[in-house]
Amino acid sequence: MTVVTTSGGPPPAGNASHHPRLAVAAVLLGAFIASFDVRLFALGLPDLRGQLGLSFDEGAWLATATTAPQILIAPAIAWLAAVFGLRRVLVWPSMLYVATTLIIPFVRSYELLLVLHFVRGLLLGVFVPATIMVVLHNLPKHWWIVGLAAYSFRLSFTGNAGVSLVGYYVDQVGWQWLYWQDAVVAVLMALLTWLGTPREGVNRTMLEKADWSGMLLLGAGLALIYAGCDQGNRLDWFESGPVTGLIVAGTLLVIAFLVNEVIVSEPWASPTVLMSRNIALVLLTMMTYMVTSLSNTMLVPNFLTGIAGLRPEQIGGMFLFYTALPLCITVVVAVWLLRRIDARIVALLGLTSFAIAAWMGTRITHEWAPDNFIPMALVQAVGQGLTFTALLIFVVSNLNPARAIAFVAYIQVLRLNVIEVATTAMTTWLRVRQQVHSNLTGLYVSAGDSDVAQALGRLTGRFAEQSAAAETAVTRATATLASIVRREANVLSIIDGFQVAFWAAIVGLLLISLMRAAPPGPLTPVGAK
């Protein structure tokens, strides 16, 4: 099953671009913009709340309004690009994105902020989805692995470099650059798109067969489910009317989408595209990758900020120098390996690295500082560089060219909704495990226990030296002991999170062992030809 094209129908009318590599550069820049934006906004949200004068709840809804619209439109973008041409889909949305992003830091009306972030999220959803198709359509076949590796690299790199950038912008340059950085890059993306893509006519054959209802149902359904998951932990899941309504409504729309794809004559994204053995297995493996990679993108940052009490600028250097920059090397190594050996072997090496890193995480204590995480960060850099790149190459190698647009739609579901579900599930797991460990630890901390009495006595004596009131010293000693219990419960919950990441990597390894060799094609390694 050789991959020779990425069109789901007749190619758009128009002259071929004279600068196809500029088009590839444009969509890769767009992918970087979207990834950086999600990461910077998540890490910088506490500072943004302070600068924009928002409450915690208002900030939470603002975050949801930024990402949910991406899911609304992202699955349909590859089809829209095939029908209307990449220039129409990217250039003007890029310029509107620049204008919206420049305005936001000056707005103080919460309602207007919500609207602007919704529009901004909708535009961000345009930038990533067409990347894979454009890479395969515009680059020579021997460059496909490099282009796909660059696409996978941006996800891991932005996740780690973003920690350092947030601290730099907030402390050195100005918090507004959490927004304005993307505006600068978006202008360059628009220019590259304009220079690198042809003036294409509208593909009226595909337009006449458009499955508008399918696109609307899937996008709206997944956006509602995302919003419900994003607010679930904060509003106590199905104890909350809004969360219940969002998830139930989204689920019904997705069911309606599945029914629609069965009954329409020209389904836009028929689920049957996922029914190949290798395709199904590799997508499941990508899900395990998303869970195990949380050891890098979530668990370590949560420990350093929540338990060690450090800010992004204090931990950013560790992520930048020991994960983000080494990724530049490991991705190059991945490309070299993928040209020579089976992608499944490369993915096995990557997931094994994640399993080792997660096992290292189960050894943490409350005394760990950023320097203690350096060995783990280096191992995670290997996992990040090898795993997703290899899985992406393998899934494209197995892709039916005639159904590429449908498959790209589901890749966007994986990229946005599955990551959110994995993150939400891990957040819930950490919260529940923290409560369990806090209760279990509290069973051994009773007022009559001699060890507890000695600890309280030492703490009381220490505080008595700082305060003349004995009652105040006892109160502070009791509060300090309670905070120690909470701290240790949090450490134990993070360890439980690393255990989940470890077993996710093991499941991924088992899934890879069930995959068959990909059919011969342009991405087949030299050793297999």
Q: What is the largest CA-CA distance in the chain?
A: 85
**Per-residue pLDDT tens digits for 205-251:** 888 888 888 889 998 999 999 899 888 888 888 888 899 999 999 99
DSSP 278-311: HHHHHHHHHHHHHHHTHIIIIIHHHIIIIIS---
DSSP symbol at 14 = B
If you average pLDDT over residues 27-44, what whole number do you get? 78
> pTM of the predicted model, to two decimals?
0.84
What is the phi/psi pair of residue 200, to 5°?
Answer: -95, 145
| Angle at which helices 312-319 and 374-397 cross, to 10° | 60
CB 257 within 8 A of CB 225: no
pLDDT at 162: 74
pLDDT at 5: 40
The residue among 64 and 529 whose pLDDT is bigger is 64
pLDDT at 250: 93
From CA 159, how far away is CA 78, in angstroms rounded? 24
**Per-residue pLDDT tens digits for 309-338:** 888 778 888 888 998 889 889 999 999 999
If you average pLDDT over residues 429-458, what whole number do you get? 73
| Angle at which helices 374-397 and 277-292 cross, to 10° | 160
From CA 250, how far away is CA 256, in angstroms rounded? 10
Residue 303 buriedness (CB in 10 A; 0-12 / 13-18 / 19+):
buried
Tokens representing residue 393 in the block: 């190459």
Model confidence band, residue 429 (pLDDT cutoffs 50, 70, 90): very high
Count of CB atoms situated within 10 Å of the CB of 275: 9
If you average pLDDT over residues 259-273, what whole number do you get? 84
pLDDT at 112: 92
Model confidence band, residue 25 (pLDDT cutoffs 50, 70, 90): confident
Q: Which residues contact 3 (CB under 8 A, 6 or more apart)?
A: 136, 396, 397, 399, 401, 521, 522, 523
What is the phi/psi pair of residue 316, to 5°?
Answer: -60, -35
From CA 291, how far away is CA 508, in angstroms rounded? 10
Count of CB atoms situated within 10 Å of the CB of 458: 11
**Per-residue pLDDT tens digits for 233-245:** 888 888 888 999 9
Q: Which among 199, 198, 189, 195 has a CA at the least distance from the CA of 95?
A: 189
Q: Which among 439, 528, 455 has a CA at the least distance from the CA of 488?
A: 439
Rg (CA), the chain: 25
CB 233 within 8 A of CB 203: no
Q: Could you tell me which residues are beta bridge partners of residue 200?
A: 14
From CA 455, how far away is CA 487, in angstroms rounded? 16
- Exposure class string for 134-158: b at 16+ Cβ within 10 A, else e: bbbbbbeeeebbbbbbbbbbbbbbb
The residue among 266 and 433 whose pLDDT is bigger is 433
Name which of 73-82, 85-94, 393-402, 437-446 the model is least confident about: 437-446
Looking at the predicted structure, is the pLDDT value of residue 529 above 50? yes
**Mean pLDDT computed over every residue of the chain:** 83
Looking at the predicted structure, is the pLDDT value of residue 442 above 80? no
For the chain, how many residues are written? 529
Name which of 235-249, 262-276, 331-345, 419-433 the model is least confident about: 262-276
Model confidence band, residue 348 (pLDDT cutoffs 50, 70, 90): very high
Tokens representing residue 395 in the block: 């899934």
From CA 399, how far away is CA 144, in angstroms rounded? 14
The residue among 456 and 307 whose pLDDT is bigger is 307
pLDDT at 155: 77
From CA 479, how far away is CA 502, in angstroms rounded? 35
- Exposure class string for 372-390: b at 16+ Cβ within 10 A, else e: bbeebbbbbbbbbbbbbbb
Cα–Cα–Cα angle for 63, 65, 68, nearest 5°? Answer: 100
DSSP 117-131: HHHHHHHHHHHSTTH
Helices (H), 128-240: 131-138, 144-168, 177-196, 204-208, 212-235
**Per-residue pLDDT tens digits for 277-319:** 888 899 899 999 999 999 988 899 889 988 888 887 788 888 8
Evaluated on CA atoms 46, 49, 55, 58, the torsion sign reads negative
Tokens representing residue 404 in the block: 């590429």
**Per-residue pLDDT tens digits for 109-162:** 889 989 998 998 888 888 877 777 778 777 788 888 888 888 888 877 877 777
Rounded percentage of the chain residues whose pLDDT exceeds 70: 88
Tokens representing residue 162 in the block: 């973003």
Which helix or strand (DSSP H or E) is residue 422 part of? helix 419-442
From CA 308, how far away is CA 337, in angstroms rounded? 38
Q: Which CATH superfamily is domain 9-210 in?
A: MFS general substrate transporter like domains (1.20.1250.20)
pLDDT at 198: 77
Looking at the predicted structure, is the pLDDT value of residue 380 above 80? yes
CB 147 within 8 A of CB 58: no
pLDDT at 445: 63
Looking at the predicted structure, is the pLDDT value of residue 527 above 80? no
Q: Which residues contact 465 (CB under 8 A, 6 or more apart)?
A: none
Q: What is the rounded (10 degree) CA torsion for 413, 418, 424, 428?
A: 150
The residue among 357 and 206 whose pLDDT is bigger is 357
Rounded percentage of the chain residues whose pLDDT exceeds 90: 26
From CA 98, how far away is CA 478, in angstroms rounded? 53
Model confidence band, residue 443 (pLDDT cutoffs 50, 70, 90): low
Model confidence band, residue 13 (pLDDT cutoffs 50, 70, 90): very low
Name which of 89-98, 283-292, 416-425, 466-475 the model is least confident about: 466-475
**Per-residue pLDDT tens digits for 465-522:** 665 555 666 666 667 767 777 888 899 999 999 999 999 999 999 999 999 988 888 8
If you average pLDDT over residues 256-261, what whole number do you get? 90
